[in-house]
Amino acid sequence: MESSTDGPVRIFLDRKGQDECGIFSFPARPRIYHQLELLGLVIHFSTAWRPIFIQGSRQWPNPLEWIKITLSGTRFYYASLGYGDLASLFSQYYVPCPVDGQEVLSSFNPLLQTGVRKTLQALDKLPELLKKSEEEGNAHLKDISKAIGRWKRFYLFELPRILKCKVNVLPPDSMICDYNLIPVIVSTGCLKNCGFCTVKDGTEFKVRSRARIKTQVEEITSALERELESYRGAFIGNLDALYAPDDLLFYAIDILRQRVPWIKNFFLFGSVHSLLEKDLSFFKNLNALGVNFFINIGIESLDSDTLALIKKPVSLRKVEGAWEKIGLLNTAFPCLDISLNILANPAFPASHWERLLLKLEKDSRSPRGTVYLSPLDAPVGRWFFDLVKSIQIRSKRHVRLYNLVGL
């Protein structure tokens, strides 16, 4: 439905997005969303009028590219990087580039683009722009303005109160749901607190009680009630939820499915240690639930020199054992998709890549188990694309770029 008003404002209600998760040639919109066109801006909202995408028309770099606003209010610029290399190498069509911090993932820096900077400034002034339009006779915009104020309070106060932790990174596989996930925190802290990691909080691993998990699920689903039908994925967190006791994990999954029964995609992180600790029966029971589980394991390297360099306190024997177990699980259980994270830096020892390629060549008969390459202290450039090409020549596995996107 379209609602037009006098002046530079147009509103399109109940536009249709995607019903299912997947990899599309564009950033996926939720199943139903609203669109506002205001003073050269195009803003997409959830059905609860939460801003989720924005694009500027003046000096905008590329009509295929958008600024994404996450559930916590963080902004990312979805860069296409020319599409050609991205689509052919990674089977993905955009790369989220942070715009709220100093990190620059790729050689393309969106903050150097005049149109992007001006659009971010306009986003910060959106309440003022809406108020001005109201004063010019668009009184129906008051509801939108109130909703934006409500979501700002949600970002600053309500979400931190509910989660009681910060979700700095989501599993890379959640790209298929465009990172739109309901968070269910079952644990905090890490087992190892690896030296290279920039998303850890430095605390020891600690599980949460059933009562706290139930309260959290009730509160987050109530807070998102008006847009809840748009969610197709859940994050069982935080950084090493796989190490939580089996019964606690199944409890958290069950509680969420009772509240949101249509969710079919669950994403979580695991470590080498937590993967090896879990019995085969745990994964068999996960598979029997009949929904999709995406588990990302931080392998990081199959080379002892590189493991020492990045200060990852795990033995090469355990890393290789995790690799073998991942292959077994991906083959045995069709509802499980266990991916691997490998760090990438052009200054790493040659043995880091040689050992990875040897493993991939050996496992090339089984293409399941995406290999995510995560750039460490080095922007994505030609070196990265050349590296991916060399890997894909010698392996049938999907190789994708792992960019750190938080909740």
Measuring CA to CA, how many Å separate 397 from each of 39, 297, 363, 392, 404? 46, 16, 9, 7, 21
Separation between Cα atoms, residue 108 and residue 24, nearest integer Å: 22
**Partners of 51 in beta bridges:** 45
Q: pLDDT value at position 5?
A: 39
**Which pLDDT does position 6 carry in this prediction?**
38
pLDDT at 364 over 70: no
Rounded to an integer, the average pLDDT of 344-362 is 90
Nearest partner of 49 among 147, 187, 196, judged by Cα: 147
- If one counts every other C-beta atom within 10 angstroms of the C-beta of residue 158, the result is 15
| Topology (CATH) of 166-401 | pyruvate-formate lyase- activating enzyme (3.80.30)
Report d(CA 28, CA 182) in Å as an integer. 16
pLDDT at position 130 over 90: no
Determine the average pLDDT of the residues in 164-170: 92
Q: Where do the domains of the chain lie? A: 2-150, 166-401
The number of beta carbons lying within 10 Å of the beta carbon of residue 154 is 20
The length of the chain is 407
Q: Mean of the pLDDT values across residues 367-383?
A: 82
What pTM value is reported for the model? 0.92
Write the burial class of residue 65 (CB in 10 Å: 0-12 exposed, 13-18 middle, 19+ buried).
buried
Q: Taking a C-beta distance cutoff of 8 angstroms, is the pair 310, 196 a contact?
A: yes
* Beta sheet of 75-79, edge-to-edge order: 2-4, 9-16, 32-38, 41-45, 51-56, 66-69, 75-79, 95-98
Average pLDDT over residues 44-56: 95
pLDDT in tens, 101-121: 655 556 667 888 889 999 999
Residue among 176, 175, 159 at smallest CA distance from 167: 159
d(CA 65, CA 115): 12
When pLDDT is averaged across residues 219-245 and rounded to a whole number, the result is 95
Mean per-residue pLDDT, 268-283? 96
Mean pLDDT value of segment 210-214 = 98
Of 31-35, 153-157, 283-287, 399-403, the range with the lowest mean pLDDT is: 399-403
Instruction: Report the pLDDT value the prediction gives residue 131, as an integer from 0 to 100.
Output: 79
